[in-house]
C-alpha cells in the first residue's frame, strides 16, 4: 500500500502512535508531500527544538520506503480540480491541505490524516489509525 502523510500524521508518529507505526511498517511506499514538509518546518521554527525536529524529519525521509514528494505539474493541475470541486460544493478546506490531497490523489496514495475535512475531497481515501 502507498500512503501520503498529512502533517498531523507525522506529528502523531513522533508522539509514538503505535497503530500508525504498525500501519506504516506495512506500507510499500510512504510519501511526504512538499506541503507537509513546509508545515512541519514552520512548526519546528515556532518551537524550541528546531535542530532536533529537523534532524528527525531528515532521518525519516532517508528511511527505506519513505520519500519526499515535490509538487509536479500534474499535482499542480490536480490542485486546481480539487479546489474548484470544493468551491462548487461550498466545502473549502485549508490551502495547504488541498496540496496534500492533490498529492495523494495524483500519486494514487491513501492519505493518512486525522482531519475530517479531507472527507469532502472526492475520490480521496483517508485513513486515521
Kindly list the structural domains of the chain, giving each domain's residue range(s) and its CATH number in brackets, ordered by start: 2-127 (3.40.50.1010)
The residue assigned the cell 462548487 is 88
Average pLDDT, the chain: 97
Q: Rounded to whole angstroms, how far apart are CA atoms 78 and 56?
A: 30
Residue 48 in this model has a pLDDT that exceeds 90: no
Instruction: Name the 3-class secondary structure at 120.
Output: helix
Beta-sheet pairing, 110-112 with 66-69: unpaired
- pLDDT on residue 82: 98
Predicted pLDDT at 85: 98
- Per-residue pLDDT tens over the stretch 53-108: 999 999 999 999 999 999 999 999 999 999 999 999 999 999 999 999 999 999 99
Q: For the residues of 18-43, what is the DSSP string, one character each? A: HHHHHHHHT-SEEEEEHHHHHHHHHH
Amino acid at each position: 500500500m502507498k500512503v501520503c502523510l498529512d502533517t498531523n500524521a507525522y506529528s502523531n508518529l513522533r508522539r509514538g502512535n503505535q497503530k500508525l507505526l504498525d500501519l506504516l511498517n506495512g506500507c510499500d511506499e510512504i510519501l511526504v508531500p512538499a506541503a507537509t514538509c513546509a508545515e512541519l518546518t514552520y512548526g519546528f521554527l515556532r518551537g524550541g527544538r528546531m535542530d532536533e525536529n529537523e534532524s528527525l524529519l531528515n532521518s525519516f525521509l532517508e528511511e527505506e520506503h519513505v520519500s519526499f514528494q515535490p509538487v509536479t505539474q500534474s499535482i499542480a493541475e490536480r490542485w486546481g480540480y480539487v479546489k474548484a470541486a470544493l468551491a462548487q460544493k461550498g466545502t473549502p478546506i485549508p490551502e495547504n491541505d488541498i496540496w496534500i490531497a492533490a498529492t495523494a490523489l495524483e500519486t494514487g496514495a491513501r492519505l493518512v490524516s486525522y482531519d475530517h475535512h479531507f472527507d469532502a475531497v472526492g475520490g480521496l481515501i483517508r485513513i486515521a489509525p
